[in-house]
Structure 1
Amino acid sequence: MKSTDYQAVVIPRTYSKIMTYNEREYHIFISVPAETPPESGFPAIYLLDGNSVFATMTEAIRIQSRGPERTGVYPAIVVGIGYSTDGPFHPARFYDYTYEVPVSELPGNPKGTDWPQMGGADQFLDFLEYELKPRIEQDFPIDRTQQAIFGHSLGGLFVLHALLSRPHAFQRYIAGSPSIHWNESVLLAKELQLPSLLTEDLDVHALLTIGELENDSRFFVKEKSLAMIERLSSMGHGQIKASFKEYPDENHSSVLPVLISQGIKFATKKTAR
């Protein structure tokens, strides 16, 4: 940059803070609507991989929530969970979003190296539930009955882990292109225990999605997602309302903006209680 008269661009009404949990450091990004909060507070979306998609989701909500009666998107607080990096992703996500599984169950690393350390999903979910959410609810006007968790790829896998192990933690679960093949044995084991957690007052909405070009028969993401939706929908007395969407002409990366646009509608829509 040749000139010194340029200033950093700051997204309006966004904030950040660093939080640590069990010696792991997280960079938290928060965006707050300009509108006056409803009496019940704003819906909240907890966004994984915050370094890569926080700004995209924040701007999508800011634009579309100007006319919620037309767009179906209502003002919401976005809480992005990220790491100390200027890149879109950090290797720490491999640990936070996964359980430990035998190496034989993992896909090969295209770089020809070992995968980073894994197995911290329970600890990361503890951080979200017992540290981050209470702090956000203390500092911002949050509707505690309308909180969503949004993740893509390994983040989508973690969203499914959260749904299957702690279905009461959130009311909306958005799993984009979930890497079910990565921890499938763990997911299936947790799924067997889920019926015992389905209390009568539970009312959960889950959305699983993929891009059309991801459905290439390598990991059977579509088939595995549809099968999981069918099983979830048949559990209990309809406490989990699960749905699936496939976005035409989108691949694993290009699907993200489309997923965000649809996900914010899913996360903020008004439902009868």
Structure 2
Amino acid sequence: MKRIALTLAFLCSIPPVSADTPPAFPLHTTPSTQLRVLPKSADGRSYQLHVHLPASFGSEPKRRYPVLFVTDGYWDFATVVASYNNLAYDKVVPEFITVGLGYAGTGLDYGRLRTWDLSPVPLSPGDGDSGHADKFLAVLERDIIPFVEREYRADPAHRALAGSSLGGLFTLYAMYARPGLFEGYIAASPAVVAGNDWLITQAKAFAEAGKPIKARLYVTGAEYEWPGFLAGIKRYQALLPELKHPQLVFQNRIIDGERHAGTKAESYTRGMRYVFEPLAPETGPSKD
């Protein structure tokens, strides 16, 4: 467990990129995207949303769209949007809005900020800088989701949540803590080992209570993850069929040949296809 704790600490300590040096040339901007800074939360935290709008958003003003919320938007938003554009072109997902969850400001320590928000339990005994996922989920439910649905015509009947590592753990935590808030979940290499498999304990307790989860869930791990980290993911994947959560359909996958971060692209691409399949214009092979 000592090695696992060190792994989690490393994942939370990736240094931010310096923004002090002005660019010599114009910066590239992802098309059809916006940055929205929210008022400070009740806890005094400053959140920023990375928003990507589907192609028809401007031409169909009465249409409402599904929405995918993605943790760690400062890292994963561009990856998700690139995959979404390919999937939408192939008509294997519906048009939907993508919202990357991030923080307002420059020169930020994303590792420290995300650890506070995304971990449902302290990552080590007495660690007050982690274990506040309940507060972040409350902000998401109370402030962020209503803002997106008000400002961008997001359909409240079709929400999904995605995240990797601690973000994947938060995604699973949200599924058990607020069942019904989302109808789709993508947990890429989730940090199941946090808190000595705390998430697995929660899943078992939820199943024993017989509560339903009407949702689609996609869970991945990477073949070349840290062994102890991957073992936790596999324990959860193996447990899912045994739990028999009412109305939950799921798919597990181990991404071959990849390490921890390298699994994101394939995890998000296949995850989006899976969770949005019921709304997709087409499924299966291309149609002539």
TM-score bucket of the superposed structures, by smaller chain? 0.7 to 0.9
Alignment of 1:80-99 (within 5 A): 80-83=100-103, 84-85=105-106, 89-99=110-120
Contact 1:150–1:173 under 8 Å retained in 2:
yes
Contact 2:164–2:188 under 8 Å retained in 1:
yes
Shift of 1:270: 1.9
- Residue in structure 2 matched with residue 117 of structure 1 by the alignment: 129
C-alpha RMSD over aligned residues: 2.8
- Residue in structure 2 matched with residue 110 of structure 1 by the alignment: none
Contact 2:49–2:100 under 8 Å retained in 1:
yes
- Which of the numbers 86, 93, 99 marks the counterpart of 1:73? 93
Q: Secondary structure at the match of 2:131?
A: coil
Q: CA offsets, 1:14-61, max 9 Å, x none?
A: 111112212011111100011255976222110000000111211221
Aligned residues: 254
Letter of the aligned partner of 2:55 in structure 1?
Answer: A
Shift of 1:217: 4.4
- Residue in structure 1 matched with residue 31 of structure 2 by the alignment: 12
Alignment of 1:96-175 (within 5 A): 96-101=117-122, 103=124, 117-175=129-187
Shift of 1:87: 7.3
- Runs of 5+ consecutive residues of structure 2 not aligned to the other structure: 1-20, 281-288
Aligned-partner Cα distance in 1 for 2:23–2:229 = 49
Aligned-partner Cα distance in 2 for 1:124–1:7 = 34
Q: CA offsets, 1:199-255, max 9 Å, x none?
A: 5xx5211111011112634551342222332244x13xx311122011111110111
- Residue in structure 2 matched with residue 208 of structure 1 by the alignment: 219
TM-score, normalising length: structure 1: 0.82
Letter of the aligned partner of 1:65 in structure 2?
Answer: A
What is the identity percentage for the equivalent residue pairs of Structure 1 and Structure 2?
24
Alignment of 1:157-196 (within 5 A): 157-184=169-196, 186-195=198-207, 196=209
The reply to whether residue 57 of structure 1 matches residue 76 of structure 2 is: no
Contact 1:164–1:187 under 8 Å retained in 2:
no
- Residue in structure 2 matched with residue 109 of structure 1 by the alignment: none
Q: CA offsets, 1:130-159, max 9 Å, x none?
A: 110011011112222221100100111111
**Given the superposition, is the C-alpha separation of residues 145 and 255 from structure 1 closer, same or farther in structure 2, using an over 3 Å criterion?**
same
Q: Secondary structure at the match of 2:157?
A: strand
- Residue in structure 2 matched with residue 108 of structure 1 by the alignment: none
The reply to whether residue 198 of structure 1 matches residue 216 of structure 2 is: no
Q: CA offsets, 1:103-136, max 9 Å, x none?
A: 36xxxxxxxxx97811211000001111100110
- Residue in structure 2 matched with residue 267 of structure 1 by the alignment: 275
Contact 1:64–1:73 under 8 Å retained in 2:
yes
**Given the superposition, is the C-alpha separation of residues 11 and 116 from structure 1 closer, same or farther in structure 2, using an over 3 Å criterion?**
farther
**Given the superposition, is the C-alpha separation of residues 219 and 255 from structure 1 closer, same or farther in structure 2, using an over 3 Å criterion?**
closer
Letter of the aligned partner of 1:142 in structure 2?
Answer: A
- Which of the numbers 224, 237, 241 marks the counterpart of 2:249? 241
Contact 1:154–1:178 under 8 Å retained in 2:
yes
